[in-house]
Each structure stands twice: as C-alpha cells, then as structure tokens.
Structure 1
Amino acid sequence: MNRTDRNNTDDHAPAEPGRAVDLNTALLEGVGGISGMVYTALPVIAFVTANAFCALPIAIGVALGVGLVLTGWRIKRGERLSSAVGGLAGVAVAGGIAAWTGSASDFFVIGIWAALLCGIVTLISLLARRPLTGIAWNAVHGGKHPWRADRPTLLAHDIATLAATFVFAARFAVMQWLYLADATGPLAVAKIAMGTPLTALTVLVIIWAFRRSTRRLITTAPAE
C-alpha cells in the first residue's frame, strides 16, 4: 500500500511544477521579445519623425497608420487578437490625448503616469510585506501555499517586486523630467530604451522568484 501511495503521489507531483513552467512561458511571451520591442517602437518612431517635419495632426495620423499596418501584420501571423488590437488602442489613445491638448509631448503622458501608478502599487505591497509577485505566484497555484511563512521564498518575492518597483520609478522619473522639458525626441528614446528591455530584465527576476517558490514549496513538499 505504501508503494502504491508513493506511486500515486509521484503521478500527481509534476502537475504543479508544470503549471509553473507554463506561467514562465506566459511571462516571457507577455514581454514579446525583440518583435514586441519593434511593435512598440515603430509607432513612436513614426510619430516623432513625422512631428519633426509635419503638423501634429499629421504626425498622429502617421503613427496610427503604422499601428494599423502592424496590427494587420500581427493578426496575419496568427497572434492573439487582443494583443494585436491592444497595441493599436494604445497608439490611438496616446494620439487622442496629444490631439486634445495640442502638445506632442502628451503622446507619452499615459505611459508616464501608468509607471507612477504601478510603482506606487508595488511599493505599497512591499511595505505591507505582501509583495505582488508572491501574491501572483500563490494565486496561480491555488492560493493554498504558506509562501509568506517561508523566509527564502518571501525574500525572493521581495527582490522581484523591488526590481519591478525600481523599473517603474526610474521610468517615471526620467520620462517625467523629459516631459516637463517638452523634449519630445528624447521622450521617444526613453520610452523605447526603458520599455521592453527593462521589462524583460524584470521578468527574468520574477521568473527566478517563481521557480524558487515552486522548488521550495511544491517540488520538494512530497519529500518533506
């Protein structure tokens, strides 16, 4: 009976680590890799370039046109409709704000304030000793693991959430400074440089924290 019970346990044990692997893959796919960086950068580059030679409404139209082409290309490649249309929606909202205020720099205002909001939320979670990455990991695994009671696991999520907080804070500080200086070109550079590359590094830290949590609280749990 003991051997049978052990075999049954072994049969079900890999299920949770497998789910963690799926989550790691989803996180990496969410960043988008090099293609994601290109999809994000091209409308911004088109807007700034057009704005240097044309009136603001034309520059907004050029950015929307590039966004439409990219959306069609992404759908043709078989990407999820929500991801493809989401990028276009972001360009449309940014362009709408710039058109409403008449300032090219306002094309970037949503990203600036979104970075501030996300930074505040992640910082509050750290101060409350409930880092967001740990909450996310536990929710994915059924919300039944005492991850805060395991100090190495809690520390890992402190580090991961702190990395996200730092990225959000740095993004807000740099872009807000450029926004106040009305430096549209440098704003575009900062948005691209501090967008996907820094997000990808943060995701790697989060994946490390997730794997550490899974290894300590799930993979080794049957043996303990």
Structure 2
Amino acid sequence: MTDPATEPDRPERPEREFPTIMEQMGGVPGIIASSIPVAVFVVVNIVAGLQPALFASIGAAVLVTVWRLVRKEALQPAVSGLLGVGVAAFIASRTGEARGFYLPGLLLSAGLFLAFVVSLVVRWPLAGVVWHGINGEGMGWRDDPALRRAYMLATGLWAIVFGARVVVQGILYDANEETWLGIARLAMGYPLFGLALLGTIWAVRRAQQRTHLA
C-alpha cells in the first residue's frame, strides 16, 4: 500500500538538489556580491591606479562579509572571497603590477581544468563527484550508466569553461592588458559558471528521466 504511494515522489528529489547547491553558494545575491571586489578593483585601477584599487577591493570584500553577517547569510562564500581577494592583493602589491591581482584566479582555473580533464580520463567524472558530494548522496550514481554518461558530458562542459578562461585570460596576462584582463575575469566568471551549471542540471535530469522511464 505504501510503496505505490511513495513511488511518484522519487523523481522530485532532483528538484531539491539545485536549491541546495545555490544555498551553499549564498544564492544569487551571494554570487553577484562575490564579484563586487573584482569589479571595484577593475574600475578603481583605471581611475586611480594600483594602490587605491587594492585598498578599495579589500574594503569591498570586507563590506560584503559584513553584509552577509548582518543578514545572517552563509559566511563561507564571503570568507573564501575575502581570503581570495587578500591573496590577490598581496601578489599585486608585491609584484607592483595590476595583473598580479588576477594571477591566483588564473592558476585556480588551470588547476580545475586539469582536474576535470583527468577525471574524464580515469572515468570518475568530477561533476558527479562534486554534485553528489555536496548533497551527501554518496557515489551510487556510478552504477547508473545513463547518469555516468550525463556526468561525463557535464564534466567535459566544465573543462571547456575552465580551459577557455585559461586561454583567454592567459593571453591577456602575458600581454599585460590589465584592464581587459579584469573585464575578461568578470565576463568569464559567473556568467560562464551559470551556463555550465545549467548544462549540468539539464544533462543530469534528462538522464534521471530516462532511467525512471526505463
């Protein structure tokens, strides 16, 4: 009696995965707020130079953290962003070049690109590992061929995103085009992240629907 009643509820589980991930990232306001320090650095560096830009970006990161604290929102994204801005500002200050501010992000993108590519080679698609790890669901998805293929596709998409960041921003970094580098950092940040996340959700839900129908 209870099994048929509970069976229709199973497909609804994926609907809760996306909000869970977004909540851990601080939601849409948190995603937008985390881009503010970089945007502030780009603008102030153009107008007033490197040192004011460094202070302004750190100040913006602190304000974002305080804003989250006052609103009782998740602090982990803000603290991570504050540390990231601090490291970027330190490198830029030590090198005396504005492009140094973007070096940590460039290296992170390169590391993530390699990680996603390696996970494809060893057939442990990182998109699946991260998705189910965040939601505490274990690695049982690897027993489902459709889900495995979906996560391989999603992992390839993430690899393309990070690879594109490395190529474009790497060229601008080598050319010391600090202004365009900052613009590229913003344009290839959360917009591309959002597209890759939507692609992951589409691929996974499509695979889950096929599994359910089978």
TM-based fold match above 0.5: yes
2:140 is matched with 144
Aligned mates of 1:27, 1:84 — CA distance in 2:
16
**Deviation sequence 1:142-174 (CA, Å, 0-9, x none):** 3334545x2x43332222111100000001111
Are 1:59 and 2:53 counterparts? yes
Q: Under a length normalisation based on structure 1, what TM-score does the superposition of the two structures give?
A: 0.81
**Percent sequence identity over matched residues?**
32
One-letter identity of the residue aligned with 1:77: R
2:105 is matched with 111
After TM superposition, the structure 1 stretch with the greater mean CA deviation from structure 2, 168-177 or 35-44, is 35-44
SS in 1 for 2:123: coil
Equivalent of 2:38 in 40, 44, 50: 44
Aligned mates of 2:201, 2:22 — CA distance in 1:
9
CA contact (8 A) 2:116 2:155 kept: yes
Gaps of 5+ in 2: none
1:167 is matched with 161
Q: Indicate the structure whose relative CO is greater, using CA pairs within 8 Å and at least 6 residues apart.
A: 1
How far is the alpha carbon of 1:18 from its aligned partner?
A: 4.6
Change (3 A) 1:25 1:164: same
How far is the alpha carbon of 1:207 from its aligned partner?
A: 1.2
How far is the alpha carbon of 1:76 from its aligned partner?
A: 2.0
2:6 is matched with 11
How far is the alpha carbon of 1:36 from its aligned partner?
A: 4.0
Aligned mates of 2:93, 2:158 — CA distance in 1:
31
One-letter identity of the residue aligned with 1:179: Y
CA contact (8 A) 2:38 2:182 kept: yes
Aligned mates of 1:121, 1:31 — CA distance in 2:
24
1:158 is matched with 152
1:200 is matched with 194
Equivalent of 1:185 in 160, 168, 179: 179
Whose radius of gyration is greater, 1 or 2? 1
Aligned mates of 2:132, 2:8 — CA distance in 1:
17
One-letter identity of the residue aligned with 1:180: D
Change (3 A) 1:41 1:11: closer
SS in 1 for 2:139: coil
One-letter identity of the residue aligned with 1:11: T
Aligned mates of 1:80, 1:207 — CA distance in 2:
23
Are 1:97 and 2:97 counterparts? no
1:88 is matched with 82
2:69 is matched with 75
How far is the alpha carbon of 1:51 from its aligned partner?
A: 2.4
Alignment RMSD:
2.5
**Deviation sequence 1:88-141 (CA, Å, 0-9, x none):** 222111111111222110100011011111111111111222222233456543
Gaps of 5+ in 1: none
